[in-house]
A and B are shown apart, each in its own frame.
Chain A
């Protein structure tokens, strides 16, 4: 009987890297793929071949990488949002938003989460502290964007998106310029002032 030769850890890793599953998950440009080279092409591919990374620009300005420019505040806010989503879903399994007199299920459910639910107090406090921290990080993020002047064109629309106007003010109305009279008017008034429908 031939002696079974065990592959070295390096050989075993290479064998795994050649499987279809591995190559399907780690797309061209991934550092976990065989034949990866640190070139502009592979760096661009790494960004473009990942569903999350492709939302990022392929190239960015050098000063943007400095920790003291962004302080990672936007990323921290997004991380906290994901943390709050996952912990929030877990808490929902044990919480009924019911406040009928005499039962007050909501409050007893909350107390039950803190005392009886598996990891309940941990998850509740992750959610609680995550929520406080997100208000804090979002505020700091906004301050950073203001102080670096990052709200200026072409980023003014993204600044507005980040404010999320209060419901009472309603969505901003588009303004249009009347080609014949030159009036700028909102969509609520343009049919009255520009009856010929000539708008740009």
Chain B
């Protein structure tokens, strides 16, 4: 594929780096106390964005469809099987069936390329918007 390996690795390393930078960003905001009023709502939005980032990272994991991916996702989705009351339903919803199969791949592909980015863009808009509304960058320490 033309530039295939380059673009794939840009995507792969970009994804790893984003989880890393989002974590560090969260730590920075905590240590500078920037989560305090009037920015407490934006902190909550930020936590949702962290979960969305992790969700994108996890759904992307399955897409190579190799042994590592299939078993990692088997373990990951088994966690949902221990949730109270809705264990079976949650597991079924995540897998699109009872085992990791073609339907799981399709499901996670759509989550990865459309559903989660769609939600992420909405919350990112609110996040950036709210920085301005809460008075820009937080004050000096």
Contacts and interface: CB of A to CB of B under 8 A. Distances in A.
Interface stretch (A72-80, A85-93, A141-149): A85-93
A79 to B, nearest CB: 16
B68 interface: no
B110 A92 contact: yes
Interface in B56-96: 96
A51 interface: yes
B132 to A, nearest CB: 10
Given A51-B126, A51-B129, A89 B110 contact: yes
A54 B125 CA distance: 12
A162 B114 CA distance: 24
A24 B110 contact: no
A92 B114 contact: yes
Interface string A15-31: 00000100011010000
Contacts of A20: 40
Determine which residue in A24, A85, A94, A96 has the highest number of CB atoms from chain B within 10 A of its CB, and name it. Answer: A24
A51 to B, nearest CB: 4
B30 interface: no
Contacts of A51: 125-126, 129-130
B115 interface: yes
A93 B40 contact: no
Contacts of B96: 93
A96 B103 CA distance: 10
Interface in B32-61: 40-41, 44
Contact of A89 (B40, B114, B126): B114
Interface in A29-56: 49, 51, 54
Contacts of B110: 89, 92-93
A89 to B, nearest CB: 5
A99 B37 CA distance: 55
Contact of B118 (A49, A54, A89): A89
Nearest to A91: B110
A25, A49, A93 — most chain B CB neighbours (10 Å)? A93
A49 B133 contact: yes
Interface string A157-197: 00000000000000000000000000000000000000000
A176 to B, nearest CB: 33
Contacts of B107: 93
Interface string B100-141: 000000110010001100100000011001100100000000
Contacts of B133: 27, 49
A96 B106 contact: yes
A92 B118 CA distance: 14
9 contacts: A24-B44, A25-B41, A49-B133, A51-B129, A54-B129, A89-B114, A89-B115, A92-B110, A94-B106
